[in-house]
Amino acid sequence: MMMGRPESPATALLTRVAEEPTYLMYQTVARELRALGPQALEIPSTRHARVALIGTGTLEPLASYLLVEAAQEQIWLDIWCGGYNQFQSELLDANGRLYAFAPELVVVAAAAAGIVAGASDGSASEPLITRINELSDAFTRHSKGLLIWHNLVVPSDEPYRLDPSPAATLTTQLNAMLATRCAQHPQLRVLDLDRLAAFFGKQRMCDERLKSVAQIPWAPEFMRHLARAMLAFVKAYKGLTRKCVVVDLDNTLWGGVVGEDGPDALVLGDDGPGTGYVAFQRALLDLRARGILLAINSKNNPADALAVLRSHPGMVLREHHVAAMRINWQDKATNMQALAAELNLGLDSLVFIDDQPFERELMRHLLPQVLTPDWPTDPLEYASALSSLTDFERLQTTEEDQRRAELYAAEQARQQTQAQTCTLEDYLKSLEIVISVQRMQPAEVARVAQLTQKTNQFNLTTRRYQQRDIQDLLESSTARVYTLRVQDRFGDAGLVGVAIVRMMADVWELDTLLMSCRVMGRRIEFAFLGALCQAAQAAGGSVLVGRYAPTAKNHVVKGLFAQAGFEPAGQKGETIRWQRDLARPWPEEPLIRVDAAVEAIA
């Protein structure tokens, strides 16, 4: 074990519950953590969230599991539990305690057993969905948060019945209707309780004694799984999801040590012991298809390792699937920092998977920002261990998410071109950059919200917005949202920039100005600002105002407004105000073509 500073009382509590994960221990540790508060774990405010649990059972025990599971991942939750079976009145009462708590996420753990039980046809489905619609609509009127409905567990108490029971049929219909309804609104989501119960075991998910004595609907061990499922929503909502999985090679991606055993002796294939490694590779490729990058960090001879990646018949994950790699004899923490720099990602965006306990502990000690999970010793458990992580989920997957691996491959091609080019001007000219600046379209709301939540480096004010907020801006008469799209000869980078402008008579104020780090360093920001200035002037504006609010990560844009010819206009606290007279002509960026008429976006 690596030596470090002594455990704090709060950390010692989390160690206790990890070693003894009993129902009583979770309740005890949760109570003591609440007394200590988030400062005891040194959890920054960016990792705090307000969560309300409402429903039909006794919810306080589940709240304890949720609090502890979150704290173990350096997330602090302020949790409010609604009254027993009061969830309908709580959602409808605009002046009630639920909305006074101002939750960011509300989880509705409500069973419809009374409606489903004994039903012989689908007649009960419409009234229930109508009621869910009414409650959902009330929530979206009174809150900008996220409402998460548990779906219903399809009954499994007649396992040998040849035809589905009426209750099972009705429950399946209700779940489908609920999923359809929640897919239609950005503030509504479904926690798939039926799928979680099937994974855990429907016959084990309830403890009949707890249910009858204390009205607690779930068994203790199931509450732990349920809390982790809820935590996935918290991470996605707060923008705490990870973007890249970094894996070791020997005994992680394949069995054996290629430098000693040789490629022919590796344990890898679709039969025998090698199936675990193949299943793990397929699970990694599934993540890649969802927009998660893959990288390699291995102590190995590069020629040996690359030969396996390129030509071993048992491999399903190949070299072209990998966004970046470090295969050398450096320590893996140094390699990890180099990978983060190459991918232009923060260390807190990375997950490190290695079969060696020493390497995992070293990574945790030197780079605690990297998520380094414990890892099973049996390769047959690798794929399920990866799927158990709750750090890759998104509330909505955008087109850019699905194309992320492709976008990074294009970026690698650009970097190779830059390395072969003498000057920055020659490099930019060779890229043939074209940008498009347009008013945001309804289909772009999810992507725009995602960029405000996750962009840290090129972000002048770092204001975070949820989809509901961006939707409101789309419909506002005093605000406009502009999007930036970029393409060059290597491909289309997609929607990579956002400007939110507040209009006050002839003064236009940049509430938000951000760009994805993938397009930084190409003077695109000045072409973007120029298009915004011209649009503002064409629409009757005379002054464009911007602000720079420093954070730990956005120092790269500290001088942007000065470089763009804006003049200082005061300072409040650490926030510096800048402005530009729109009558002053904007210098053209000769190496960047703007593919949009100013009149089209004014």
What confidence tens digit (pLDDT) does each residue in 349-367 have? 999 999 999 999 999 999 9
Write down the pLDDT at residue 501: 96
CA-to-CA dists, residue 528 to 43, 260, 429, 554, 595, angstroms: 36, 54, 17, 18, 11
pLDDT digits (tens, 9 = 90+) for 121-167: 545 567 788 888 999 999 999 999 999 999 999 988 787 888 888 88
CA distance 218 to 119: 24
Buried b (16+ CB within 10 A) or exposed e, 136-153: bebbeebbbbbbbbbbbb
The average confidence (pLDDT) of the chain is: 90
Of the chain, the percentage scoring pLDDT greater than 90 comes to: 72
CA distance 198 to 420: 55
Question: Residues 6 or more apart from 378 whose CB is under 8 A from it?
Answer: 276
Write down the pLDDT at residue 518: 82
CB atoms within 10 A of CB 458: 23
Q: Under a CB-based contact definition with an 8 Å cutoff, are residues 306 and 317 in contact?
A: no
CA distance 275 to 314: 9
Mutual angle of helices 220-237 and 60-72, in 10-degree steps: 60
pLDDT digits (tens, 9 = 90+) for 50-83: 999 999 889 999 999 999 999 999 999 999 999 9
CA-to-CA dists, residue 35 to 29, 64, 279, angstroms: 10, 13, 44
Q: How far is CA 330 from the centre of its chain?
A: 30
Q: What is the mean pLDDT of residues 199-203?
A: 92
pLDDT digits (tens, 9 = 90+) for 284-315: 999 999 989 999 999 999 999 999 999 999 99
Which residue is it, tokens 């072969």?
Answer: 420
- Domain-wise residue ranges, the chain: 9-237, 244-387, 399-601
CA torsion through residues 391, 397, 401, 403, sign: positive
Kindly give the pairing relationship between strand 567-572 and strand 543-548.
Answer: unpaired
What order of strands is seen across the sheet that includes strand 293-299? 324-328, 293-299, 244-247, 350-353
Question: Residues 6 or more apart from 79 whose CB is under 8 A from it?
Answer: 51, 52, 53, 63, 66, 67
Write down the pLDDT at residue 507: 94
Q: How far is CA 335 from the centre of its chain?
A: 24
Q: What's the pTM?
A: 0.81
Tokens (6 digits) for 598: 């100013």
CATH 3.30.390.30 fits 9-237, yes or no: no
Write down the pLDDT at residue 119: 43
- In this predicted structure, the answer to whether residue 587 has a pLDDT above a threshold of 90 is no
Q: Under a CB-based contact definition with an 8 Å cutoff, are residues 168 and 209 in contact?
A: no
Mean pLDDT is lowest, of 186-190, 385-389, 422-426, for 422-426
Write down the pLDDT at residue 143: 96
Write down the pLDDT at residue 167: 82
Q: What is 403-457 written as a DSSP string?
A: THHHHHHHHHHHHHHHHT-SSHHHHHHHHTEEEEEEEPPGGGHHHHHHHHHH--S
Q: How far is CA 278 from the centre of its chain?
A: 26
Residue 509, strand partner residues: 502, 545
CA-to-CA dists, residue 219 to 22, 159, 185, 464, angstroms: 11, 21, 32, 37
* Nearest to 449, CA basis, from 426, 472, 475: 472
Q: What is 107-173 written as a DSSP string?
A: EEE---HHHHTT--SGGGHHHHHHHHHHHHHHHHHH-SSEEEEE-PPPP-S-TT-SS--HHHHHHHH
CA distance 12 to 453: 32
CA-to-CA dists, residue 369 to 12, 242, 323, 337, 347, angstroms: 20, 11, 20, 11, 6
Domain 244-387 in this protein, CATH class:
alpha beta
Write down the pLDDT at residue 124: 57
Domain 399-601 in this protein, CATH class:
alpha beta
SS (H, E, C) 180-249: HHHHCCCCEEEECHHHHHHHHCCCCCCCHHHHHHHCCCCCHHHHHHHHHHHHHHHHHHCCCCCCEEEECC
pLDDT band at 87 (very low <50, low <70, confident <90, very high): very high
CB atoms within 10 A of CB 462: 18
- Residue 227 amino acid letter: A
Q: Under a CB-based contact definition with an 8 Å cutoff, are residues 314 and 269 in contact?
A: yes
- In this predicted structure, the answer to whether residue 398 has a pLDDT above a threshold of 80 is no
- In this predicted structure, the answer to whether residue 2 has a pLDDT above a threshold of 70 is no
Write down the pLDDT at residue 26: 97
Buried b (16+ CB within 10 A) or exposed e, 517-556: bbbbebbbbbbbbbbbbbbbbebebebbbbbbeeeeebee
Q: How many CA atoms lie within 13 A of 580 on its CB side?
A: 23
Q: Residue 1: is it exposed, middle or buried by C-beta count within 10 angstroms (0-12/13-18/19+)?
A: exposed
Q: Residue 590: is it exposed, middle or buried by C-beta count within 10 angstroms (0-12/13-18/19+)?
A: exposed
Which DSSP category does 39 fall into? G
Higher model confidence: residue 574 or residue 415? 574
- In this predicted structure, the answer to whether residue 1 has a pLDDT above a threshold of 70 is no
**Vertex 498, ends 492 and 502: CA angle to 5°?**
155
CA distance 249 to 327: 9
pLDDT band at 582 (very low <50, low <70, confident <90, very high): very high
CA distance 260 to 251: 12
Is there a shared CATH topology between the 244-387 domain and the 399-601 domain?
Answer: no
Tokens (6 digits) for 132: 């869910």
What order of strands is seen across the sheet that includes strand 543-548? 567-572, 575-581, 543-548, 507-515, 491-504, 479-488, 433-439, 592-594
Write down the pLDDT at residue 116: 46
Write down the pLDDT at residue 416: 73
Higher model confidence: residue 127 or residue 341? 341
